[in-house]
Structure 1
Amino acid sequence: MRSIRVALLALGTLIATLLTAPTAQAAPNFKAPFACGQQWTYSHHSAEVRRALDFVRSDGGATANAPVLASASGTATRHNQPGGAGQYIVIDHGGGWQTYYFHLAAYSVANGQSVAQGQQIGTTGSTGNSSGAHIHYEQLYNGVGQNIVINGQSLAYPSSYYANYLTSDNGCGGGTTTYWVDTFARTDGYAGPSTASPQGALYAGTNYVYCKVWGENYTGAYGNNHWWLRTDLDETYPGGNGRGAYVPAYFLSRWGNDEARDNNGTVIPDC
């Protein structure tokens, strides 16, 4: 009987412990650490601390000095490790969650400042132990590196750049401005402003676009155009990503060489 009572007491203690144990805090809805509409490629290598991903810009814009944005709201602290992370920001989001942003060229917030999701916290650089400008980005829970999740979706961990891409909706303010254009023929859409990495197709007709970037010169029977338009494709190829792809402005019905205007004649803004 004594052994049964001891076993029951032990079971009761275990149940009480399980019922009172703290539960894991849900992660914030983290967004990309770079500006709305921009596309960056990312990679991971085995020497990285924790579960970091490194991001470089892949849409024709410059990586160096590009704004680095807060993935979620929280309290930002500034740090400097000349032989390692360089100038970096840590944001404490509460509930045990933090994000790290390494190798900054400059800080954009004060130490201990409260920041909103999408707020600029620094600029992209190569300070510390770094071979080139990039954003080294981490998500931690209770000090432990986590697999990175953006907008509720887990990212891959490729060993090199230009295999995986991420287009940001951080700081878009609830919606990205669109510009309506007419295109005269079906065209492939690409991961960046060149004919590498076709992602799908945009059909002929009236389509919306978000912005433009200068890229590879696209030529054909009707002239040429260096501008590329970011849009969402009508058709996605197997393994492709139809959101935030790039199509040549060459296919605009109403404009000629190196023009990128909407149907009203408004110059489409740079991404």
Structure 2
Amino acid sequence: MIAAVGATVAGAAVLVAPGIAQADSSAVPAASQVKIQGKYYFNTWRNAYSYEGRNVNTPKKGILWAGRNYFYCQAQGQDHHDDAGNKNTWWAKTDDDNGNRNVWVSATAFSVGGNYEPIPGLPKC
């Protein structure tokens, strides 16, 4: 998501790295997740800290802004609770909006899934 160019996929903003061909948006299904070039795109409903590990006690690395973001996979980690009452032990690996690569974001930021459930459609690491 560093030096990214905006594109539209299924009516949502998607960041595409320069030099990478963009998928024809008419060919992309309107779903909660979309897979493009090995990345799974999901909506996050709030800004979320990214962490070095799947644990809030590991160093914070940056921020993932609310909206359409890509993720690689998910794995279980430390229990995380947010201010809205969401709870989860699942964490998703991504690259944050500060340029940190392979960092982790709590599943509590996702617009899909429920408390203590994995993110539907995102493969396990």
Aligned residues: 88
1:178 corresponds in structure 2 to: 39
Amino acid at match of 1:233: D
Give structure 2 stretches of 5+ with no counterpart.
1-36
Q: What RMSD, in angstroms, separates the aligned Cα atoms of the two structures?
A: 1.8
Aligned counterpart in structure 2 of residue 253 of structure 1, from 94, 111, 119: 111
Normalised TM-score (structure 1): 0.31
1:190 corresponds in structure 2 to: 51
Give percent identity, aligned residues only: 33
Say whether 1:200 aligns with 2:62.
Answer: yes
Shift of 1:255: 1.9
Shift of 1:254: 2.2
Aligned counterpart in structure 2 of residue 230 of structure 1, from 83, 89, 93: 93
Say whether 1:269 aligns with 2:123.
Answer: yes
CA distance in 2 between partners of 1:223 and 1:192 (Å): 19
Amino acid at match of 2:77: G
Tell me the SS of whatever aligns to 1:250.
helix
Shift of 1:191: 0.6
CA distance in 1 between partners of 2:50 and 2:118 (Å): 16
2:18 corresponds in structure 1 to: none
Matches within 5 A, 1:237-248: 242-248=100-106
Matches within 5 A, 1:75-154: none
Detail structure 1 runs of 4+ shifted over 3 Å in the superposition. none
Instruction: Specify which structure has the bigger relative contact order, considering alpha-carbon pairs within 8 angstroms and separated by 6 or more residues.
Output: 2
CA distance in 2 between partners of 1:182 and 1:260 (Å): 15
Tell me the SS of whatever aligns to 1:192.
coil
Aligned counterpart in structure 2 of residue 219 of structure 1, from 75, 81, 98: 81
Amino acid at match of 2:69: N
Q: Deviations over 1:147-206 (max 9, x none)?
A: xxxxxxxxxxxxxxxxxxxxxxxxxxxxx7211111111111011101121111100001
1:67 corresponds in structure 2 to: none
Q: Deviations over 1:229-257 (max 9, x none)?
A: 00000125xxxxx0010000111012211
CA distance in 2 between partners of 1:186 and 1:204 (Å): 5
Tell me the SS of whatever aligns to 2:108.
helix
Amino acid at match of 1:197: P
Amino acid at match of 1:217: D
CA distance in 2 between partners of 1:206 and 1:259 (Å): 20
Normalised TM-score (structure 2): 0.64
